[in-house]
Amino acid sequence: MKNTSERDIREILKILFNFILISKIQSNALNNNGTILIAKQGKDASRVKNYRPLTIGSLISRTYWGIIDKKLREVVSFPLVKNALFMSQAASTMYIY
């Protein structure tokens, strides 16, 4: 992969991501994420609300889901609800270009 151009890598990822999207099969390796809680500086560490989550996961998985999120936002109007995901019929047939 040393001599692989950025364009080639983009094309490979596009094919991989479209395969995942169409087949609805995602490798367990892409789903292995870990979340830890980090205390906010200067806050009372005995209170749950004073922590923030930090999720560590696969770069490829984060890239894939970032693209999916961007594509969904192009076709779906999201209500102002934090961390909610709603999908329209049009979004169910999207492809990554």
Q: Say if residues 90 and 72 touch (Cβ distance below 8 Å).
A: no
Look at the chain and report how many structural domains it folds into: 1
What is the value of pTM for the model shown?
A: 0.50
- Quote the distance between the C-alpha of residue 32 and its chain's center: 12
Residue span of the structural domain in which 71 resides = 6-93
Residue 48 lies in a domain: yes
Structural domain includes residue 11: yes
User: Residue 58 has what pLDDT?
Assistant: 81
- Rounded Cα gap, residues 22 and 70, in angstroms: 17
Per-residue pLDDT for the chain (97 aa), expressed as one digit of tens each? Answer: 577 888 888 888 888 888 888 888 877 777 777 888 999 999 998 998 999 988 888 888 888 888 888 888 888 876 655 544 444 444 444 445 4
* Residue 50 is assigned to a structural domain of this protein: yes
Q: What is the DSSP code (8-state) at residue 50?
A: G
Tens of pLDDT, residues 43-58: 998 998 999 988 888 8
